[in-house]
């Protein structure tokens, strides 16, 4: 008999725990990417929507052995550090509600945990890319939504049996996708992020400071 996980019979009480410890962790990059994008507002919004664009992942030498077997997968997820987003965001009042890039034409706010907006409590990015070739400590990939020299924190293979809920019996179209399913993903003005939402969030502040420093 498989042991069942402990149930939270007092869920309300657990959610109101104000004394929960907030541990701190240190993360170090395992490599970085080379792409053709230098500015946040000119970078594509999602890797699968820019699937023909190629980038290069360079893993630091000490981690090169960890790439063994990656070439057998068609897709991989890159966990990145959004290092061009100012560190102080989004801890100012009101910044946990943002206008996602795909809703900036309408100005609609959602919570950052209900979006992939880059201004978030931990500046982590997630990119689903197609593995084109692995050679030495370099991975050529297709599908770019990252700025040049974005640090990579981890690489995890994507596999349909594990990453598509209910595979293969469930109709993927029946999976709830929130507000993403209520907007046109590909807009007439292209797939770049654009500046309205990023300016509103203060995400372009660092770029301006660097330009005039």
Q: What pLDDT, in 10s, does the model give residues 162-186? A: 999 999 999 998 999 999 888 876 5
Lowest pLDDT segment from 117-126, 136-145, 148-157, 183-192: 183-192
Q: Is 122 domain-assigned?
A: yes
Q: Name the pLDDT band for 94 (thresholds 50, 70, 90).
A: confident
Per the listing, tokens 């490599």 go with 31
Name which of 148, 140, 129 is nearest 79 in CA terms: 129
Q: Is 209 domain-assigned?
A: no
Question: Quick one: pLDDT at residue 9?
Answer: 66
Q: Is 8 domain-assigned?
A: no
> What number of other Cβ atoms are within 10 A of residue 60's Cβ?
13
- CATH code, domain with 44: 2.40.30.70
Q: What pLDDT, in 10s, does the model give residues 42-65? A: 999 889 889 999 999 999 999 999
Q: Is 103 domain-assigned?
A: yes
Q: Is 71 domain-assigned?
A: yes
Which residues, at least 6 apart from 118, have a Cβ–Cβ distance to it below 8 Å?
40, 82, 85, 125, 198, 203
In the Cβ-directed half-sphere of 84, how many Cα atoms lie within 13 Å? 18
Distance CA 134, CA 136 (A): 7
Q: Is 91 domain-assigned?
A: yes
Distance CA 201, CA 195 (A): 10
Q: Is 168 domain-assigned?
A: no
Q: Is 5 domain-assigned?
A: no
> Residue 88 belongs to what domain range?
27-161+178-199
Indicate the number of domains in the chain: 1
């Amino acid at each position: 008999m498989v042991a069942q996980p402990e149930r939270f019979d007092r869920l309300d009480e657990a959610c109101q725990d104000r004394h929960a410890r907030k541990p701190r962790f240190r993360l170090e990059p395992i490599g970085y990417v080379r792409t053709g994008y230098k500015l946040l507002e000119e970078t594509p919004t999602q890797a699968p929507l820019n699937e023909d664009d190629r980038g290069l992942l360079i893993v630091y030498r000490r981690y090169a052995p960890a790439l063994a077997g990656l070439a057998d997968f068609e897709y991989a997820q890159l966990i990145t550090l959004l290092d061009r987003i100012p560190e102080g965001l989004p801890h100012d009042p009101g910044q946990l509600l943002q206008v996602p890039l795909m809703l900036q034409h309408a100005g609609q706010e959602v919570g950052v945990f209900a979006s992939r907006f880059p201004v978030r409590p931990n500046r982590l990015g997630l990119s689903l890319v197609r593995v084109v070739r692995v050679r030495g400590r370099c991975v050529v990939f297709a599908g770019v939504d990252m700025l040049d020299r974005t640090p990579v924190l981890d690489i995890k293979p994507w596999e349909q049996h594990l990453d598509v809920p209910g595979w293969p019996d469930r109709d993927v179209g029946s999976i709830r996708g929130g507000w993403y399913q209520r907007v046109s993903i590909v807009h007439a003005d292209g797939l770049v992020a654009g500046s309205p939402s990023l300016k509103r969030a203060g995400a372009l502040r660092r770029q301006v400071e660097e330009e005039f420093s």
